[in-house]
Amino acid sequence: MKMKLIILLVAILPSTLLAKIGHAPANFKSPEGYAIFVDFKKADYDLTYDPGSKTVTAKSTITFENTEEGMPVIDMVENPIKFFVDGTEVSTKVINSIDQDTWFRIILKSIKPGVHTFVVTSVIDQGVNFITTGVSSSFWFNDLGDRNFLEAYLPANFEYDQVKMTFNIDFQTMDKQKFYTNGNVTDLGSNRFTVEFPETYTSSSLYYHTTPIGRYPENKFTYTTLDGRDIPGVVYAKDSYTNLEDAKKKIISSIQVLESKYGPWLHQKIIVFIAGNGGMEYCGATMTDLSSLNHELTHSYFARGGFMPANGNAGWIDEAVTTWSDSGSGTRPDLKGIAANMAGNSQYRRYTEYRAYTQGASFMSYLNYKFQSNGGLTAFLNDMIKNDAFKPMTTEEFAAKMSTYYSEDLTSLFKDHVYTNKTNPGQSNDSKPGHMKMSIPEMNQYL
């Protein structure tokens, strides 16, 4: 990792540019042609739920910009039915990254630099359950698995890219649908809706679950944030025996403590689905069991809001900081045994290394100890949230910002402890996190 160079770049480039294509992995020559990473400008997804055929069809219209000529990387796990770029039908192929770390889809046509639009039709198979009263459909993610963000359902970009996403939804004859989502819902009548997500969102940000009205017990509430905004909150559960009043109290007290530590709640809503084992975080939302609730809500500051990872090599920061904070914001005076490669994996990596929960959290405890006379780690985290909320960040930028904040070059400290042990996969020697995340097929049982 070119830490020093990146520190220099951070100083020179405006952060808006860095938040976009500057965080993309390197373009590369594949056997098919020159694969390029692009900048999504706008993404409109038309989703049609057909209760007759029990299918969901997506027509996705995405405007993107490329600065180099080549074959754009547009990942989607589902095979497209039709794929057009600027009105011309093209074919696509799922290929390996040059280092064979992951797979993704490219358009098999070299595209000249500029602004272009692709339109793709596809079927959504995962996360859909048609029942007699309507449809339960969600786009739930898993950041410990590859290709498990929005690309599992719809054409999407890597996590570096923030894009304004809009769902245009047609339920056809199903007239009793409702939404649990961190987007803004507009009822257009005739069982049609739009859901608009903030332009700061990436492929890992959005929470979307539509269900027939009354399918889940729920408890709605209004929460007044530390900065005086009244925002809607809802907790709903898969099981009727979940005590939602109790869960609501836990959510509110958890967020109040988080606000006292890290500042006003960063989101426009609070959405909690109590279901399953472990949890997964979204912007202002989570699907979680009760024991992981505080951990998952903490992620609305670290992972989905205050700090946002620009790639899988920064995902460890989400879990390291959150686990450290959730387990009491402790200190440790030594770095004994902390040497895990959490940040230096393939530049195409999209998922988080497990050792973030153990060695990563211990590394944060050490930083909290080391800088205790400067307000500890929380002082830096608060500064980062104040200045860089909703800006996807790499580990190199995180380390550089911390170096600046504490007036000490931390490059070699990070290099020695979060980029090392590349050959040792380590995962078998480290205990798996207590709040394990479910895979997408596992989550489908809660629809």
The amino acid sitting at 60 is: S
**Pick 289 or 409: Cβ nearer Zn ion:** 289
Cα 357 from Cα 378, distance rounded (Å): 18
**Pick 105 or 304: Cβ nearer Zn ion:** 304
**Pick 43 or 283: Cβ nearer Zn ion:** 283
Rounded to the nearest whole angstrom, what is the least distance from the CB of residue 322 to Zn ion in the complex? 5
**Pick 349 or 370: Cβ nearer Zn ion:** 349
**Pick 102 or 288: Cβ nearer Zn ion:** 288
**Pick 415 or 432: Cβ nearer Zn ion:** 432
Rounded to the nearest whole angstrom, what is the least distance from the CB of residue 292 to Zn ion in the complex? 8
Asked if 375 and 405 touch (Cβ cutoff 8 Å), the reply is no
The amino acid sitting at 395 is: T
**Which of 274, 267, 269 lies closest to 250 in space, CA to CA?**
274
Cα 300 from Cα 284, distance rounded (Å): 5
Where in 293-322 is the site for Zn ion (CB under 5 A)?
319
**Pick 319 or 388: Cβ nearer Zn ion:** 319
Total residues binding Zn ion (CB under 5 A): 1
Residue 242 structure tokens? 């979940």
Rounded to the nearest whole angstrom, what is the least distance from the CB of residue 310 to Zn ion in the complex? 18
Residue 388 has φ and ψ, to the nearest 5°, of -130, 25
Rounded to the nearest whole angstrom, what is the least distance from the CB of residue 437 to Zn ion in the complex? 8
Rounded to the nearest whole angstrom, what is the least distance from the CB of residue 248 to Zn ion in the complex? 22
Asked if 350 and 149 touch (Cβ cutoff 8 Å), the reply is yes
Where in 249-268 is the site for Zn ion (CB under 5 A)?
none
Cα 133 from Cα 67, distance rounded (Å): 48
**Which of 189, 266, 257, 252 lies closest to 221 in space, CA to CA?**
252
Where in 319-338 is the site for Zn ion (CB under 5 A)?
319
Rounded to the nearest whole angstrom, what is the least distance from the CB of residue 155 to Zn ion in the complex? 27
Strand partners, 44: 61, 166
SS3 string of 326-384?
A: HCCCCCCCCCCCCCCCCCCCCCCCCCCCHHHCCHHHHHHHHHHHHCHHHCHHHHHHHHH
Cα 338 from Cα 355, distance rounded (Å): 10
Rounded to the nearest whole angstrom, what is the least distance from the CB of residue 320 to Zn ion in the complex? 10
Rounded to the nearest whole angstrom, what is the least distance from the CB of residue 357 to Zn ion in the complex? 7
**Pick 27 or 286: Cβ nearer Zn ion:** 286
Cα 222 from Cα 230, distance rounded (Å): 6
Contact positions vs Zn ion (CB under 5 A):
319
